[in-house]
Amino acid sequence: MRTASIERKTKETSISVQVNLDGTGQYEIQTGIGFLDHMLEQISKHSLIDLKIKAKGDLHIDLHHTTEDTGIAMGEAIAKALGDKKGIKRYAHALIPMDETLSRVALDVSNRPYLVWNVKLKVEKLGEMDTELFKEWFQAFAQAAGITLHIENIYGDNSHHIIESCYKGLAKTLRSAFEIDQRMKDIIPSTKGTI
């Protein structure tokens, strides 16, 4: 079983994350930020990663620390659950439509974290979240998980649809990239012999 648990405590946040990469998309998510909970539920449901997240943060200041630290903790848990990455398909991409919106997500489980974020939003908030925090979440997640992550909104008008298509795209690519390739199940997918 590819599972892991992470506890992350700072003066700003206290976060626990449990992941099962070979799950069925079951989730229990409580960050105190409704819209972020909704997006993390999308990741679990569409990646089939079982995900438990409980976060308490300094929301009386703003949502930044809780958003960023949740990305870090989730990324750390996924990296831990992947272990040496033997057998994974490693690369994946997805085109995700949502009504008038189309977004593209591509990733490499490379241990060379990098985020390319080509997403423009027309509003400053979705729910209670400042829209600039979405890039912060994806950056924190990619860095902690060791993933090269490219996200691009190709077109779209509704900011909710744009962001949700990005999270669903991440979910689909995680599912594909983490899947075990039966032809390489005991092999690390790199000519270096390590990722």
DSSP code per residue over 137-191: HHHHHHHHHT-EEEEEEEE-S-HHHHHHHHHHHHHHHHHHHHSB-GGGTTS-SST
Residue 104 has what pLDDT? 98
Claim: this prediction has a pTM higher than 0.75: yes
Residue 1 has what pLDDT? 86
Domain extent for 39: 3-184
Within the chain, which residues score under 70 in pLDDT? none
Note whether residue 47 is domain-resident: yes
Residue 122 has what pLDDT? 94
What is the per-residue pLDDT across 147-166, written as a single tens digit (0 to 9) for each?
999 999 999 999 999 999 99
Note whether residue 72 is domain-resident: yes
Residue 149 has what pLDDT? 99
Four-CA torsion 82, 28, 149, 162, nearest 10 degrees: 160
Residue 99 has what pLDDT? 98
What is the per-residue pLDDT across 128-151, written as a single tens digit (0 to 9) for each?
999 999 999 999 999 999 999 999
Domain harbouring 71, CATH code: 3.30.230.40
Note whether residue 192 is domain-resident: no
Note whether residue 116 is domain-resident: yes
- Domain count for the chain, please give it: 1
Note whether residue 10 is domain-resident: yes
Query: Cα 157 from chain centroid?
Result: 23
Note whether residue 191 is domain-resident: no
